Structure 1
Amino acid sequence: MVSLLIGSFPKPPYSLPFPVAAEFSSSTCGIPWKQYLIIVFSMKCNGSSIDTQASRFRTWNMSEKYYPIKLQRGLVVHQVARSNEISTVYQSRRAKNIVSATSGQPLESEPGAYHPKNHWKSMQDGLNAFYRFSRPHTVIGTALSILSVSLLAVEKLPDISPLFFTGVLEAIAAALLMNIYIVGLNQLSDIEIDKVNKPYLPLASGEYSVATGVTIVSSFAIMSFWLGWIVGSWPLFWALFISFVLGTAYSINLPLLRWKRFALVAAMCILAVRAVIVQIAFFLHIQTYVYRRPAVFSRPVIFATAFMSFFSVVIALFKDIPDIDGDKIFGIRSFTVRLGQQRVFWICITLLEMAYGVALLVGAASSCLWSKYITVLGHTILASILWNRAKSIDLQSKAAITSFYMFIWKLFYAEYLLIPLVR
């Protein structure tokens, strides 16, 4: 602190008369003038006045003979003010460093400095944006449906082998890549609509640019076809190709395309992929490519295709219920826009309850006792949960409708857990 103060004091002006300078130097009793002023200043800070110091040091009175009183006081006031300024800056910096240390922040934080926490947060934000872009409920549905249908090709316990798991993983990987292409293309085509209906999606919110979206969907489509080709399974490759064609025609805004504008055609696209392509093509992938068996459609495969036809229509209809506002603005003539939210909602509930009724009959007719009990009990529970929840929904709340739509997807997942048990 002393060295800081000494370095801050200017030397006495050289323009003073020589006798004054000599007397001022001698009045310090051999003490350098800078240290002398520090002593005076320190005593002032401890409560002593300038006049008291003058009385203690005779040499100070001697200097008054040659040094005007006004100039003496001005010099001391200047040094005190300068010292106070330095002390204030020092204390301010010290307080800032203490706060930084207690808060865990670095002592010096410059705009361009590298911070591992910021880098980690950027990675988290990027993963979160891609998670929303991929529409995870469809990803889960695709993976679970392929695994479930593949199990329908298992006839005996030794069929569950590394060869089986390899074939299933190849199918799931290629299908998920195509799934992300389809949902990504739909978001690219619906940016303005999604700003109303789904503003949290990366393209609608501005987190992703159009160029980023195009790069992602193009890359995933290419990787999907590449994987399907190198696997060498024709059922798998045709499943990817038909999904690509229908997904593109459903979303892309070109003449004679963008089939989502037409409610019936849009529903048929979803039904074709979710009900027919998934059940038939991926079953044949395991049956003919992995196990090298003839293409024979068993009773469980037929049941799965019929049941998921109902479910796919319900998903196609229900997904537009929470999106009615944006669809009206941009001229999408969905069934919800035409018939109203309440009517379409109860049509969906009726179709699902009918599907569960058919499942109960199929389960009751099974010759396998354990399969009969599981399928009848499981579908009864699902039908009851659906009905009880449907009666309590508030159709005036978009949040409640969206939550119910995600509940429909959970029923979709649950059905694929029951399908392999149908015998």
Structure 2
Amino acid sequence: MLSPISSQNLRVRRCQAWSNIESSFALNCRQPLVMQHAGGIKYNLSLYRRGDTKYIVNAASEQPLESEPLSYQPKSLQGSLQDSLNAFYKFSRPHTVIGTALSIISVSLLAVEKLSDFTPIFFTGVLEAIVAALFMNIYIVGLNQLSDIEIDKVNKPYLPLASGEYSVATGVIIVASFAIMSFCLGWSVGSQPLLLALFISFLLGTAYSINIPYMRWKRYALVAAMCILAVRAVIVQIAFYLHVQTHIYGRPAIFPKPVIFATGFMSFFSVVIALFKDIPDIVGDQIYGIRSFTVRLGQKRVFWTCITLLQMAYAAAIIVGASSSSLWSKLITVLGHMTLSLILWIRAKSVDLESKAAITTFYMFIWKLFYAEYLLIPLVR
């Protein structure tokens, strides 16, 4: 056995050794440990001591940790609701929703002949058409996302299905619900042009996206462009104009100059949207065998083809505006289209075609031109 003095000396030496180890460890841990994830994201690991216990206090992707680990903070109801609304906002593809609503309002105004035509029945009928069309719009863009989950993980990883915010089951429920609500509302309104617009949009939207034999027409560049043209240029202009003209006002189905102009101009615009939307998505389309015009011809050629088509459309619009017998209509439509054409050209010259972000931003700018055109169409006389 050790004597009491020897035992005491042994304990002192052990304490000194342990103290040296702790001092060395603390010195080495003053700087946080930085780990590099394979995807390029940095993680910072810092250690601190509380009493005799060590804690990991930061293990986040370049973001500070606001609470201690293992401390559970349930999401507030307001936060959860905000997240849900944000996910649905992205799922609905808001630029297409805005385009659909504006186009229906604009085309409906073409049927208005005098101020007394602005009746409660008119506003109710237009609102019913907008809501039914928006429900169908969400069905179409939602089905496209359901069919393109793997492609969107490359091209649009922020979308709810691609990012995992929505499960496939959630996407299916949303898509099916909005299709049913659209048809139910259209049926209750009892307008044949409205029902026809919804039905054709449903068929073309389904055939465009769904991956079953003889379908998924988006794989074929020309057919895909024709689908978008048929809905955006023909169905929207003619069917919703007839909805107001025949169903709301009970007038004969005639097509005045503004309706013909709107259909022709939007034919150009719809082809541009169909071509341009694939320019920033070239990588995913190449990987998954989508033979878009961008994949086949290259980004630069398709980009300048789109700009040329839009400039042709604006030139035609200027000619139509100049031929108007109404002075105010002539001035507004000619100057308006000249201004839009000039802005388009200036913006196009400054786009960096090597940058996906720049191309995507310009694509959103084209949608703004699309919105602006629907503000000018009711003024064509």
TM-score (norm 1): 0.73
Q: Pick from 113, 131, 140: which aligns with 2:98?
A: 140
Query: What is the aligned partner in structure 2 of residue 229 from structure 1?
Result: 187
The 5 Å alignment of 1:62-211 reads 111=72, 118-211=76-169
Amino acid in the other structure paired with 1:291: Y
Deviations, residues 17-76 of structure 1 (Å, cap 9, x unaligned): xxxxxxxxxxxxxxxxxxxxxxxxxxxxxxxxxxxxxxxxxxxxxxxxxxxxxxxxxxxx
Q: Distance in 2 between matches of 1:207 and 1:256?
A: 31
Say whether 1:273 aligns with 2:231.
yes
Pairwise CA distance, 1:135 = 0.0
1:355 to 309, 313, 317: 313
| Counterpart-to-counterpart distance in 2, 1:193 and 1:223 | 28
User: In the TM superposition, what whole-angstrom CA distance separates every residue of 1:122-178 from its partner, at most 9, and x where no partner exists?
Assistant: 110000000000000000000000000000000011001111100100000000000
- Alignment correspondent of 2:257: 299
User: Which letter maps to 2:135?
Assistant: L
1:409 and 2:367 equivalent?
A: yes
Structure showing greater Rg: 1
Distance 1:110 1:331, change over 3 A: closer
Distance across 1 between alignment mates of 2:246 and 2:182: 21
* Aligned-residue offset at 1:422: 0.2
Does structure 1 residue 394 correspond to structure 2 residue 367? no
Measure the CA separation in 1 of the matches of 2:130 and 2:89.
18
Question: What is the aligned counterpart of 1:321 among 265, 279, 287?
Answer: 279
Measured after TM superposition, the shift of residue 231 of structure 1 is 0.4
Q: 2: CA distance between counterparts of 1:157 and 1:373?
A: 22
Alpha-carbon distance between aligned partners in 2 of 1:242 and 1:352, rounded to the nearest angstrom:
26
Return the offset for 1:118: 1.8
Q: What CA distance in whole angstroms lies between the structure 2 residues aligned with 1:298 and 1:166?
A: 24
**Equivalent residue for 2:210?**
252
**In structure 2, C-alpha distance between the alignment counterparts of 1:218 and 1:174, rounded to whole Å:** 14
Q: What's the secondary structure of 2:158's corresponding residue?
A: coil
For residue 372 of structure 1, what is the aligned residue in structure 2?
A: 330
Moved over 3 A (4+): none
- The amino acid across from 1:194 in the alignment is D
| 1:223-260 per-position Cα deviation (integer Å, ceiling 9, x unaligned) | 00000000000000000000000000000000000000
1:422 aligns with 2:380: yes
Measure the CA separation in 2 of the matches of 1:413 and 1:247. 21
Distance in 2 of aligned mates of 1:254 and 1:368? 52
Please give the alpha-carbon distance, in whole angstroms, between the structure 1 residues aligned to 2:312 and 2:93.
28
Tell me the residue number matched to 2:298.
Answer: 340
The alpha-carbon deviation at position 309 of structure 1 amounts to: 0.1
User: Displacement of 1:195 after TM fit?
Assistant: 0.1
AA aligned to 2:279 is: I
Q: What is the distance in 1 between the residues matched to 2:310 and 2:79?
A: 43
SS at match of 1:396: coil
**Paired residue type of 1:370:** W
Q: Give the letter aligned to residue 280 of structure 1.
A: I
What residue number does 1:264 align with?
A: 222
Among 303, 308, 314, the alignment partner of 2:266 is 308
SS at match of 2:233: helix
Match of 1:285 in 2: 243
CA distance in 2, matches of 1:159, 1:378: 26
Q: Please give the alpha-carbon distance, in whole angstroms, between the structure 1 residues aligned to 2:133 and 2:99.
A: 11
Aligned residue number for residue 6 of structure 1: none
* In structure 2, distance between residues paired with 1:238 and 1:212: 28
Please state which structure has a larger fraction of its residues in helix. Answer: 1
Aligned mates of 1:131, 1:392 — CA distance in 2: 30
Residue aligning to 1:382 = 340
Q: TM-score, normalised by structure 2?
A: 0.81
For 1:289, the aligned partner's letter is H
Gaps of at least 5 residues in structure 1 are: 1-88, 90-104
Once residues 158 and 338 of structure 1 are traced to their aligned partners in structure 2, the CA distance between those partners, rounded to angstroms, is 53
Letter paired with 1:390: A
| Number of the residue aligned with 1:212 | 170
Give CA-to-partner distance per residue, 1:77-101, whole Å, 9 cap, x none.
Answer: xxxxxxxxxxxx9xxxxxxxxxxxx
Amino acid at match of 1:241: F
Aligned residues: 315
The structural deviation recorded for 1:110 is: 7.0
**Sequence identity percentage:** 80
Give the match for residue 69 of structure 1. none
